[in-house]
Amino acid sequence: MDAIRQLLGGFETIATDPLTLTLALLGCVLGTAVGLLPGVGPSTAIALLLPVAISLDPQPALVMMAAIYLGAEYGGRISAILLNIPGDAGAVMTTLDGHPMARAGRASSALALSAVGSFFGSILALIGLTFLALPLSSVGLAFSPSAYLAVVVMAVMLSATLVGDSVIRGVIAALLGMMIATVGTDLQTGIPRFTLGVSELLSGISPLIPIIGVFGIGEVLWSVAHPEQTVHASRTSGLERRFRPDLSDLRRVRGAIGRGSVTGFIAGILPGSGSSLGSFFAYSLEKRVSKRPEEFGHGSPQGVAAPEAANNASVGGALIPMFTLGIPGSGTTAVLLAYLIVYGLDPGPGFFANNAELAWSIIAALFLSSFVLLALNLPLVSVFARILDIPARFLLPAVLALSVVAGFALQNSPFDAAMVIAFGAIGYGLRVAGLSPALLIIGVILGHILERSLRQAYLLHNGDVVSILTDPLALLFYGIGVVAIGADVVGRSRRGIAARRARRE
C-alpha cells in the first residue's frame, strides 16, 4: 500500500508540473525518432542530450531521459521490422520474425503487435519495479560471476538452435561473431589481439558496427543483387491498413507477452545484461514452448511479441539495480547513473528513502510514457508501413547513406564508417553462405559478455575451474542449457523422421 501511495504521489508531482509533463512527452517522441536510426540506441540518445539535461533541474531531466529510454526501445523495432535493420542490439531478435511478416505483406500487423507487446512489457515490469524493487535488489547480487558465466554459456548454447534449420550453421555463425568480439586490447594484460597493427582496432569493435553493417548495408547489397526479393508494401488488404493488430494474432500472443515480460524483467535486473539478453531469452523460450515452432523465423507473431515485451520489460528491470544498488543494469542505465552522480544524488540502498519524490516521479513518468508511446505508435503503424512503399531506387541508397553516416557518427571516425561497409560485405557473404546474420550479431554481443564473465569468475575463484563449474546456480543454468539443446535435437530428429515417412507415403 505504501508503494501505491508513493506512486500516486509521483503521478501528482508530474501532473502538477507542466515542464516535467512536457518533457516526458517530448522524451517519448525524441526517443522513438532516435530509436529509428540504425546504430543510435537509447544510451547514445541520452548521452547526446547531456548538454540539454545539464541545464535542467534533476527531476524534469531524469523524467525526460527515462521517457527517451523507453521511446528508443519502441523506435528500434520500426526499422527492425520494416527494413531488417535493428535500431540497437535489443532489436536484433525482432528482425527474425518481424521482417518476414513485413515481407509477407503484414507490416502493419507486425508493428502493431510489437507496440502492444512493448506496452504490456513496460507496464508489467513497472508494476514489478513498484512493488518488488527492494526485495529484488538482492537478486542481482546473488548472481556470482560463475553463475553469470553459466547464464551466458547457456545463452550461447541456446543460440545455435535458435535460427534456421541447421545447428552446425548456427554454431558457425555464432562462433564467427564471438571471434569478432575478441578483436581489441586484452583488458587484463594490455596486449593487442587481432588488431593487424591498426591502431583504431585497439579499442575493439563496437557491436553497433557489425549491426549497422551486416543488417543495414548487407541487406541493401542483397536487395540490389536479388531485387525480386525486395520487400513490397503490405498487399492492399483492408485489414493491413488498420492500426490495430489482428484479433486472432492478439489471442495467440498473450502468453508470449506474459512470458517475454517476465524474462525481460529478470534479465534486466542482472547487471550488465541489458535488453539484448532479455529479448534473446524471451525469443528462445517462446520458440521452445510454442505449438508451432516451425513458424519461428518465418513470421511468427509470438516471435515478434515476445522479444518486444522483453525489450521494454528490461527497462524496468534494469532500473532496480540502478536505484537500489547503484549498479547499472544496462548500458543506458550506466548513462542515467552518471546523470544521478552529476546531480549529486546517491544511488544505492538509501535512494528510495532519501529521494522518494524523484524516484517515484521517474517511475510514474515511465507509466505515463508507456501509455503515450502506445497511443503515439499504434495509430501510426500504417504510416510507418508506408515506408515500404518508397521505391527501392530511393529507399536503398538512403539506407546506405544513413548506415555510413551512423557508422561515422559513433566516434566521428571514417575508420568506423569503413568498418561498417566491410561488415556489409560480410553480411552479404553470410547470406550467400546460408549463415544467419542475426546469429553473427548474437555471437558478437554474447562474446563480449562471455569473456568478461569468464575472466571475472576465473579471477574470483583463483583459477579453480572446478569451483567455477560447480556453483549451484551455475549448475542449474548449465543443466537447463543441456536439456534445451537435447530436447531441440530430439525434436528435430523426430520431425525429420516424420517428414521422411510422409515423403515415402
Report how far apart, in Å, the C-alpha atoms of 111 and of each of 29, 35, 368, 384, 442 are: 17, 14, 21, 8, 23
Least distance in angstroms from the C-beta of 345 to another protein: 26
Least distance in angstroms from the C-beta of 310 to another protein: 27
In DSSP terms, 193 is beta-bridged to 184
Q: Which among 438, 295, 384 has a CA at the least distance from the CA of 107?
A: 384
Nearest to another protein of 50, 345 (CB atom): 50
Q: Cell triple for residue 283? A: 525469443
DSSP 8-state assignment for residue 391: -
Nearest to another protein of 68, 305 (CB atom): 68
Nearest to another protein of 71, 447 (CB atom): 447
Least distance in angstroms from the C-beta of 458 to another protein: 5
Q: Supply angle C-alpha 132, 133, 134, rounded to 5.
A: 95
Nearest to another protein of 1, 168 (CB atom): 168
- Give the position of cell 575472466: 455
In DSSP terms, 185 is beta-bridged to 192
Name every residue whose Cβ is closer than 8 Å to that of residue 291 and which is 6 or more positions away in sequence: none
Site of interaction with another protein (CB under 8 A): 34, 37, 40, 48, 51, 168-169, 171-172, 175-176, 178-179, 182, 186, 188-189, 191, 193-194, 217, 220-221, 224-228, 391-394, 396-398, 400-402, 404-405, 408-409, 412, 414, 417-418, 421, 424-425, 428, 432-435, 447, 451, 454-455, 458-459, 462-463
Helix (H, G, I), strand (E, B) or coil at 185: strand
Nearest to another protein of 163, 368 (CB atom): 163
Nearest to another protein of 18, 227 (CB atom): 227
Least distance in angstroms from the C-beta of 408 to another protein: 7
CB atoms within 10 A of CB 8: 12
State the DSSP string of 213-248: IIIIIHHHHHHHH-GGGS--PPP--GGGGSSSPPHH
Nearest to another protein of 91, 404 (CB atom): 404
Backbone angles phi, psi at 352, to 5 degrees: -65, -35
Least distance in angstroms from the C-beta of 442 to another protein: 14
Least distance in angstroms from the C-beta of 20 to another protein: 22
Cα(first)–Cα(last) distance of the chain, in Å? 64
Least distance in angstroms from the C-beta of 450 to another protein: 8
DSSP 8-state assignment for residue 389: G
